[in-house]
């Protein structure tokens, strides 16, 4: 496998927004609930994410950025009956419903693996690159994201001759959709037809089927099927697999917390899937060419260690012919079983030959590792030329954004800071400037 020069997998990382905080909003996500109420550092969070993105660009990968959302979401707060000017809305919500205010302040759009599902043109009947923003309806603080996410995606991938933008699926739990966090694409080169693996946590219309008992399953089978239809995928190039409900109950709230795929490699935990053997056979039979299954056994890394370290929330990246690296968070180094495994991984018979460790601790404390922070978009060089070029990361943009962060982001946010109306103003000022830097036009409500 190699990155050829006519097609690329471009990682679009979410820039962490100025209101990044720890509000404990995601039941089923043990980091989020466990770190509730801690003091966050939006400045450090944004810089950590940007540094990870720039480091991958420096390795020769194409790297883009997706803009954060403006928070708090005043239109949602007003729709819930909090009235008056902005200061009064914050004051009233803070008094009557602080948890709702915190939800409307979340910077959760940073996890762009949940922004959308993307299918490249080689797989779609009409030859376009398809995007469907995830409806994220399992969590209130996330179901307010898709409208603005859709606008940001359209401003980032503007040419409708090349890119097809769909509406999010209907906002019903039966069609719960969490985007690329439960979707993996296998291929030879990025411009060749591939196999798309859709992993779901439960059925939306079948009470007789297994589902988790403790924590919610966010993605449904019916949602995954709808995305495959919208993206005009061929039935014989799509595999649907149910996540093991037992691992969801241990904190694996998305499939990307327990497996990751890239080109001809699937790196997964032994307990990740129900009917694992059947699913792996299907992938193998649909895929053209050699395929590597890299299974991590429970004996070597328990589900608990996987959740705690985010070993599988890693990025697999191609560095050369048959040479991949695994990009893991710093937390993997701190977990003995995981670090022991990673020491020997490059000597196993697979293309994964290097381990790269990055510090994204601020995001990790909310349950977001390296893979959560990026949305993969496979593009031909011609399609890449149609992307909004201001969103592609260069050393110049990296330094411009670091300065922008220094100028606009707070060092710290505590739960009480969400009551400070200046924070809302600071966010608007910062994002207004950002839309100019990234040439996005008017994507935010306050600009319309």
Write the interaction track for ligand SUG spanning residues 282-321; mark x where CB under 6 A is met and - where it is not.
----------------------------------------
Which residue among the candidates 178, 222, 331, 362 is catalytic per the annotation? Answer: 178
Say whether residue 117 binds ligand SUG (CB under 6 A).
Answer: no
Write the interaction track for ligand SUG spanning residues 228-267; mark x where CB under 6 A is met and - where it is not.
--------------------------x-xx----------
Cβ proximity to ligand SUG: between 3 and 259 the closer is 259
Dihedral, CA atoms, 389, 395, 398, 399, nearest 10 degrees?
Answer: -130
Residue 201 CB, nearest distance to ligand SUG (Å)?
12
Residue 54: HSE in the Cβ half-sphere, 13 Å Cα cutoff: 17
SS3 letters for 62-128? CEEEECCCCCCCHHHHHHCCCCCCHHHHHHHHHHHCHHHHHHHCCCHHHCHHHCEEEECHHHECCCC
Residue 298 CB, nearest distance to ligand SUG (Å)?
21
Cβ proximity to ligand SUG: between 24 and 120 the closer is 24
Cα 378 to Cα 98, 117, 180, 343, 387: the distances in Å are 41, 12, 13, 30, 12
Residue 107 CB, nearest distance to ligand SUG (Å)?
8
Q: Which pairing describes strands 259-262 and 129-133: parallel, antiparallel, or unpaired?
A: unpaired
Token pair recorded at residue 159: 């040419």
Cβ proximity to ligand SUG: between 182 and 318 the closer is 182
Cβ proximity to ligand SUG: between 105 and 163 the closer is 105
Binding range to ligand SUG, per CB under 6 A, among 107-115, 197-205, 289-297, 383-391: 107-115
Identify whether 9 is a catalytic site residue. Answer: no
In eight-state DSSP terms, residue 409 is: -
Give phi and psi for 79, each to the nearest 5. -65, -15
How many residues make contact with ligand SUG (CB under 6 A)? Answer: 22
Residue 315 CB, nearest distance to ligand SUG (Å)?
12
Say whether residue 114 binds ligand SUG (CB under 6 A).
Answer: yes
Site residues for ligand SUG, 343-372, by CB under 6 A, read 366-368, 372
Determine contact, residues 123/196, Cβ cutoff 8 Å: yes
Which residue among the candidates 70, 104, 372, 427 is catalytic per the annotation? Answer: 372
Place of tokens 């990246």: 317
Identify whether 187 is a catalytic site residue. Answer: no
Say whether residue 48 binds ligand SUG (CB under 6 A).
Answer: no
Site residues for ligand SUG, 2-41, by CB under 6 A, read 22-26, 29, 32
Orientation of helix 421-437 relative to helix 86-96, angle to 10°: 120
Dihedral, CA atoms, 244, 317, 3, 123, nearest 10 degrees?
Answer: 20
Identify whether 178 is a catalytic site residue. Answer: yes
Cβ proximity to ligand SUG: between 123 and 256 the closer is 256
Q: Which pairing describes strands 183-186 and 195-200: parallel, antiparallel, or unpaired?
A: antiparallel
- Cβ-in-10-Å burial (0-12, 13-18, 19+) of 278 comes to exposed
Q: How many CB atoms lie within 10 A of CB 326?
A: 27
- The residues of the shown chain that bind ligand SUG, judged by CB under 6 A, are 22-26, 29, 32, 106, 108, 111, 113-114, 139, 142, 181, 254, 256-257, 366-368, 372
Positions annotated as catalytic residues are 178, 254, 372
């Amino acid at each position: 496998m190699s990155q050829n020069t006519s097609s690329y997998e471009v990682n679009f990382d979410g820039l962490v927004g100025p209101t990044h905080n720890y509000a404990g909003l995601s039941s089923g996500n043990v980091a989020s609930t466990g770190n509730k109420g801690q003091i966050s550092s939006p400045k450090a969070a944004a810089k950590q994410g940007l540094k990870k993105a720039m480091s991958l660009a420096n390795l020769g990968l194409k790297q883009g950025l997706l803009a954060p959302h403006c928070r708090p979401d005043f239109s949602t707060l007003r729709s819930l009956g909090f009235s008056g000017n902005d200061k009064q809305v914050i004051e009233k919500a803070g008094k009557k419903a602080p948890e709702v205010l915190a939800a409307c302040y979340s910077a959760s759009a940073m996890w762009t693996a949940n922004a959308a599902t993307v299918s490249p043109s080689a797989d779609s009947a009409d030859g376009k690159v398809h995007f469907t923003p995830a409806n994220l309806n399992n969590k209130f603080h996330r179901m307010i994201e898709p409208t603005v996410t859709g606008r940001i995606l359209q401003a980032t991938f503007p040419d409708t001759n090349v890119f097809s933008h769909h509406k999010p699926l209907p906002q019903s739990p039966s069609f719960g959709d969490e985007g690329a966090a439960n979707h993996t694409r296998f291929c030879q080169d990025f411009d060749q037809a591939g196999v798309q693996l859709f992993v779901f946590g439960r059925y939306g219309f079948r009470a007789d089927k297994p589902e988790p008992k403790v924590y919610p399953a966010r993605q449904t089978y019916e949602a995954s099927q709808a995305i495959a239809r919208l993206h005009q995928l061929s039935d014989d190039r799509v595999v649907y697999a149910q996540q093991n409900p037992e691992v969801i109950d241990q904190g694996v709230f998305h499939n990307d917390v327990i497996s990751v795929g890239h080109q001809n490699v699937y790196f997964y935990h032994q307990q990740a899937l129900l009917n694992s053997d059947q699913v792996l056979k299907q992938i193998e039979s649909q895929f053209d060419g050699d395929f590597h299954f890299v299974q991590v056994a429970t004996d070597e890394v328990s589900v608990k260690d996987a959740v705690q370290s985010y070993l599988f929330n890693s990025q697999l990246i191609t560095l050369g012919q048959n040479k991949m690296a695994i990009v893991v968070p710093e937390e993997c180094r701190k977990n003995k079983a995981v670090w022991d495994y990673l020491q020997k991984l490059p000597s196993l018979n697979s293309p994964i030959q290097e381990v790269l460790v990055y510090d994204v601790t601020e995001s990790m404390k909310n349950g977001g590792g390296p893979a959560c922070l990026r949305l993969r978009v496979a593009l031909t060089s011609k399609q890449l030329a149609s992307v909004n070029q201001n969103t592609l990361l260069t050393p110049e943009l990296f330094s411009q954004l670091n300065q922008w962060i220094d100028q606009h982001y707070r060092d710290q946010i505590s739960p009480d800071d969400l009551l400070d109306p200046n924070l809302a103003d600071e966010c608007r000022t910062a994002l207004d400037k950002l839309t100019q830097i990234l040439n996005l036009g008017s994507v935010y409500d306050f600009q319309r």
